[in-house]
Amino acid sequence: MRTEEARPVRLKDYRPPDWLVETVELDVSLDSTATPVRAALTLRPNGSGAAPAPLVLDGDALNLRALKLDGAALPPEQFVATPDRLTIAQPPQRRFRLEIETVVDPSANTQLSGLYRSGAIYCTQCEAEGFRRITYFPDRPDVMAVYTTRIEAEKAEAPVLLANGNLVRSGDVPGTTRHFAVWHDPFPKPSYLFALVGGNLACVEDRFRTMSGREVTLRIYVEQGKERRCLYAMDALKRAMRWDETAFGREYDLDIFMIVAVSDFNMGAMENKGLNIFNDKYILASSETATDTDFERIEAVVAHEYFHNWTGNRITCRDWFQLCLKEGLTVFRDQEFSADQRSRAVERIGDVRGLRTHQFVEDAGPLAHPVRPAVYHEINNFYTATVYEKGAELVRMLRVLLGAENFRKGMDLYFSRHDGQAATVEQFVQCFADVSSTDLTQFMLWYSQAGTPEVVATGSYDARAKSYRLELAQSIPPTPGQPSKQPMVVPLAVSLVGREGRDLPLKLDDGRTVERGVLTLTKSVETFVFADVAEQPVASLNRGFSAPIKLSANLSADDLRFLAAHDADPFNRWQALQTLATRLLLDNTAASRASRPARHDPGLLDALGATLADGALEPAFVALALTLPGEAEIAREIGHDVDPDAVFAARAALRAAVGEYLAGPLFDHYRRLSESGPYRPDAASAGRRMLRNTCLDLLVATQQPEAISLAARQYQAADNMTDRMAALSALSLCDVPERAAALDDFYARYADDPLIVDKWLTLQATVPEPATLDRVRALTSHRAFSFANPNRVRALIHAFALANQKEFNRADGAGYDFIVETVLALDPKNPQLAARLVSALKNWRMLEPVRRERAEAALRRVATAPSLSPDVGDIVRRALAKD
């Protein structure tokens, strides 16, 4: 158990390390319950060293067996070793060699941090603070060392032995049934990027020729028999490697790049140098087992981890406060990659939907924190949508502000100036300031101020003066610890759209020019007056979602329908429809609560119909346009006194209304879009399937027997997982006999495939009916379920808490009680997973009073439970804090 001494950790307290580590030699002899770890570190004092510095190494649940300094056993009075610290009070103030022997139990490691077992495979996870669970070490990212790793294991149990870098030697251990491998990584790296793997793994191999002509061996290791399901990931890897060369000039640097897929993993994947370790969910795919969305995620995650080789590994973070330096930047890079591989507009809309559902919701509640936090109690709790997704938005804003060319120059400078270093956000931003001679001081507020800025835009046209006046006012709501905020730099891509749908020339009346169509708001209130505006325009604001803000503009329903039909910016065409739908959903949620009749909006239905009928639009775009904002997002828009039943009812009614009103064209599209020929996972085919399945979903929302049998038929006839799942998921929302039959059939077909059974668990957890909670409880005892596997827990329990707003937020509080029980049961085993689950309660304050009280009581029950992990303790304390 980790202690909470030295916590909280504050950014302002950063001090460089007293000791540096030049080299690490590890010798790990894999054994299921007692793995000896011998570490030899070359240490040297850092800098001038005015006062002699003690040596304090981090540990976590460690067990010291032996300690030597420069080859001689250190007398017991010269050091103190506890499970979480090794202190040598008076080490020699010069370079020396420290040999540490610990012993760890991989089988008992249920936290999945440090050295653990996933099934029969030995693997490690060291980010953020897992290396200290293997050996005593200055476990902080600004200590970068060169690692040599010797792994030894039973040949039969672990024929494959891997670590970072290049293989230098391997062979049998004479006189035993064991063998060994020695790996050397020439690139200095922080301990969180260390990895080793041992097991009986199959391997798929390929090659890649880099832009300078070097040959790199690519290997993906998976469970025996699953080789064929790695081919898409391998293809994605090669495309990512090529893309990083062309888009950023970044070449791979080792002779081998390996990926290992394991079934038990707390997160998506990990970018260990030369040896990425993946949750197998983000590697394994075939047309029969994975949906188009799975393929898309695999492509993105493989690319993300690969891109970390430069943004994260070659240039790493000085300390964990700088997490967004690698994560926000790498998410930005993987989003750009996907946009280039697929459709830019569709990618952007998808990313913004994700941002709004996760990050905006986080920003609106008690767990809100800046992209670069100033304080943390438990760093594991900061792998958040804010650090990742909002972090990516800040990088994108730099590009909007400076233009693509200066942006690329800034990135080039960052790579050359900081290669091999542990850097900070300031150093990153300084590169962009330097190449563009721009003062980015105010921009830094995006990193330090939490909360989603709200921008109110008021436009008016003066027909006589032929001018258009745009008043912009920004405000940032208070967030924990930050009651008042300063105005930020908001880059707003804008256009004035004329009657014909053309963008009118933008000319400010004070002679300033609008560069690249971007207005930069820097004050609380600012007015821009456009001159020579020949006709009354409609303003298209925040095009492409140029800034991650909440925008409200004085646009009428007519204006929005006009933009939906004519805006040259596809994002804003989509946004216009979303805004219309959101307005209606907010009204109807309020009406439902007040038992008033719902409002109808034929204009919205017609606009959706026109979008569906527009043959010039990409199918995936049309599908997104027909998809209504989600319940979590509507709840966040309402903001307080939320009744999730009313939100659900309003949204369900609108889906049904769309399905009824557009039944004819939806059926037509459904028929017309049927694919012939074999399944292909490319974006265009996936887009057609997406539109077809969206049509089906809207038709089924009407609950008409005809639509239901269409879905039942599609379920049976499908020759790929995308269509089968889409039909099943449409059916799963209806209380009809076809549903149970199809769910049983699905389980019977795929019972042997855990990743597919996860889909089955999720579907059942997301049925919006009162019986669901009991069903979910019952499923926790199903033989396919296990609390020990994070994917199972996420598929069933997280899905219930996050994707079934109605049943999780049952008015009787039973949904909260279930989460509390689960969290308390999980916490002693896997605190990271438990902490993520308890975060589902974070938005309790925006609920209506009855549910609010029950959710708060649930959080308090967790908070007062004995011996909470630092992970869960931190979340519940922040969730309940009053400020």
Q: Kindly indicate which of the ranges 79-87, 120-128, 525-533, 674-682 contains the residues binding ligand PHE, using the contact rule CB under 6 A.
A: 120-128
Active site residue 389: no
Cα 579 from Cα 557, distance rounded (Å): 9
Burial of 558 (0-12, 13-18, 19+ CB in 10 A): exposed
Question: Three-class SS of residue 733?
Answer: coil
Site size for Zn ion (CB under 5 A)? 2
Q: Which residue in 145, 181, 270, 730 binds ligand PHE (CB under 6 A)? A: 270
Q: Which of 118, 125, 809, 839 binds ligand PHE (CB under 6 A)?
A: 125
Per the document, the length of the chain is 883
x/- mask, ligand PHE, residues 314-333, rule CB under 6 A, reads: -------------x------
Least Å from the CB of residue 195 to Zn ion: 15
CA 386, CA 362: separation in Å to the nearest integer?
Answer: 7
For residue 307, the minimal CB distance to Zn ion (Å) is: 8
Q: Does 538 bind ligand PHE (CB under 6 A)?
A: no
Q: Minimum distance from CB of 265 to ligand PHE (Å)?
A: 8
Question: Shortest gap between Cβ of 789 and ligand PHE (angstroms)?
Answer: 16
In angstroms, the CA 152 to CA 38 distance is 12
Return d(Cα 22, Cα 79) in angstroms, integer: 22
| Closest approach of ligand PHE to the CB of residue 128, in Å | 6
Candidates 266-274, 365-373, 409-417, 630-638: pick the segment binding ligand PHE (CB under 6 A). Answer: 266-274
Residues numbered 287 to 306 that lie near ligand PHE (CB under 6 A) are 304-305
- CB hemisphere CA count around 412 (13 angstroms): 13
Strand 96-104, strand 422-423: pairing: unpaired
The sign of the CA dihedral 62, 66, 67, 71 is negative
Return the half-sphere exposure (C-beta side, CA atoms, 13 A cut-off) of residue 716. 8
* Least spacing, CB of residue 267 vs Zn ion, in Å: 9
Of all residues in this chain, which one has the CB nearest to ligand PHE in the complex?
A: 267
Q: How far apart are CA 593 and CA 701, in angstroms?
A: 22
Cβ nearer to ligand PHE, comparing 127 with 244: 127
125 binds, among ligand PHE, Zn ion, none (CB under 5 to 8 A by kind): ligand PHE
**Smallest distance, ligand PHE to C-beta of residue 279, A:** 9
State yes or no: residue 267 binds ligand PHE (CB under 6 A). yes
Q: Which is nearer to ligand PHE, 283 or 538 (CB)?
A: 283
Indicate the burial class of 587 (C-beta count within 10 angstroms; 0-12, 13-18, 19 or more): middle
Q: Which does 383 bind (CB under 5 to 8 A by kind): ligand PHE, Zn ion, none?
A: ligand PHE
d(CA 823, CA 801): 12
Min. distance of Cβ 490 from Zn ion in angstroms? Answer: 27
Which of Zn ion, ligand PHE, none sits in contact with 270, Cβ below 5 to 8 A by type? ligand PHE
Contact 819, 295 (CB under 8 A): no
CB atoms within 10 A of CB 342: 21
Q: What is the closest distance, in whole angstroms, from the C-beta atom of residue 237 to Zn ion in the complex?
A: 15
Name, in order, each residue with C-beta under 8 angstroms of 379's C-beta and a sequence gap of 6 or more: 9, 128, 129, 320, 323
Cβ nearer to Zn ion, comparing 380 with 772: 380
Cβ-based nearer residue to Zn ion, 327 or 633: 327
From CA 212, how far away is CA 251, in angstroms rounded? 8
Distance (Å, whole) CA 78 – CA 821: 46
**Pattern 665-704, ligand PHE, x by CB under 6 A:** ----------------------------------------
CA distance 376 to 378: 6
Among 31, 271, 334, 363, binds ligand PHE (CB under 6 A): 271
Closest to Zn ion by CB, 330 vs 702, is 330
Of 102-110, 122-130, 488-496, 653-661, which segment contacts ligand PHE by CB under 6 A? 122-130
- Nearer to ligand PHE by Cβ, of 121 and 269: the residue is 269
Backbone angles phi, psi at 731, to 5 degrees: -65, -35
Q: What are the residues facing 145 on neighbouring strands?
A: 189
DSSP 628: P
The neighbouring-strand residues paired with 123 are: 116, 197
Selection from ligand PHE, Zn ion, none that 267 binds (CB < 5 to 8 A by kind) is ligand PHE
Stretch in the footprint of ligand PHE (CB under 6 A) among 33-41, 51-59, 267-275, 491-499: 267-275
Q: Does 280 help bind ligand PHE (rule: CB under 6 A)?
A: no
Contact 730, 697 (CB under 8 A): yes
Touching ligand PHE, residues 346-405 (CB under 6 A): 383
CB closer to Zn ion out of 327 and 336: 327
Q: At what angle do helices 644-661 and 570-593 cross, to 10 degrees?
A: 120
Is 415 near ligand PHE (CB under 6 A)?
no
Site for ligand PHE in 25-64 (CB under 6 A): none
Q: Is 103 helix (H, G, I), strand (E, B) or coil?
A: strand
Q: Are 826 and 837 in contact (CB under 8 A)?
A: yes
Residues 304-343 that bind Zn ion (CB under 5 A): 327, 330
Q: What minimum distance in Å lies between the beta carbon of 632 and ligand PHE?
A: 22
Identity of the residue, 279 or 822, whose beta carbon is nearer to ligand PHE in the bound complex: 279
Contact flag: residue 259 with ligand PHE (CB under 6 A): no
Nearer to ligand PHE, 110 or 703 (CB): 110
Comparing CB distances to Zn ion, the nearer of 308 and 342 is 308
Vertex 312: Cα angle to 311 and 313 (nearest 5): 105
Least distance to Zn ion from the beta carbon of 330, Å? 5
Residue whose entry in the numeric block shows the structure tokens 């047309």: 287
Shortest distance, position 123 Cβ to Zn ion, whole Å: 18
Residue 244, interface with ligand PHE (CB under 6 A)?
no
197 belongs to the binding site for ligand PHE (CB under 6 A): no
The binder of ligand PHE chosen from 27, 84, 127, 378 (CB under 6 A): 127
257 alpha-carbon distance from chain centroid? 23
Nearer to ligand PHE, 24 or 331 (CB): 331
Looking at the Cβ atoms of 330 and 791, the one nearer to Zn ion is 330
Question: DSSP 3-state assignment of 712?
Answer: helix
Please give the sequence-ordered ranges of beta strands (E in DSSP) within 194-311, or none if there are none.
196-199, 201-209, 215-223, 256-262, 269-270, 275-279
d(CA 9, CA 709): 58
**Backbone dihedral angles phi then psi of residue 598, each to the nearest 5 degrees:** -75, 150
Catalytic residue among 25, 152, 299, 305: 305
The helix (run of H) or strand (run of E) holding residue 493 is strand 490-493
Distance CA 514, CA 508 (A): 7
**Catalytic annotation, residues:** 305
Residues that bind Zn ion (CB under 5 A): 327, 330
Residues that bind ligand PHE (CB under 6 A): 125, 127-128, 266-267, 269-271, 304-305, 308, 327, 383
